[in-house]
Amino acid sequence: MPDPAPVPMSTEESAYFAEGCDLFNNGRFWHAHEAWEEMWKSLKQRKAPEAEILLVQGLIQTAALLLHHQRRNTAGVTKQWQKLAPKLAGWTSMWGLDIETHLAMVNAYADDVGTWSLVAADHQLPQARD
């Protein structure tokens, strides 16, 4: 199934999204979570498509998972993976991000629990190829 065409973001939502991506790519997962949460609140308030709201929520949970991974919190990683995987599954790309590749990469961090061989701050949001 192809990804739905995105409803245009407001200027504010676009700014929150870009800020969250920049913070995430710099390993500042808590701050990325906060920026994306503001975007999520805005999307909910204007009754954006549910799929977009869930996608942003999945990105927020990804940031939380990587923060838990940094702290070697097994329960936190596992809980976030269980919540985010269904929200991101089935997507290929959205808002310039390759969601399918991102999900596969995050899965590696979930699988790394107990080994802790991966470095969360090394994860970058993969860009979609247009």
127 falls within a domain: no
- pTM of the predicted structure, to 2 decimals: 0.92
Residue span of the structural domain in which 20 resides: 11-122
Identify the pLDDT of residue 8: 81
Contact yes or no for 24/16 (Cβ under 8 A): no
Q: What is the pLDDT of residues 14-66, one digit of tens each?
A: 999 999 999 999 999 999 999 999 999 999 999 999 999 999 999 999 999 99
Query: How many structural domains does the chain have?
Result: 1
Q: What is the Cα–Cα distance from 116 to 71, expressed in whole angstroms?
A: 10
Query: What residue type is assigned to position 19 of the chain?
Result: E
Q: What is the pLDDT of residues 52-98, one digit of tens each?
A: 999 999 999 999 999 999 999 999 999 999 999 999 999 999 999 99
66 falls within a domain: yes
Side-chain-facing half-sphere of 9: CA atoms under 13 Å: 21
35 falls within a domain: yes
6 falls within a domain: no
Identify the pLDDT of residue 129: 87
CATH number at residue 47: 1.10.3450
3 falls within a domain: no
115 falls within a domain: yes
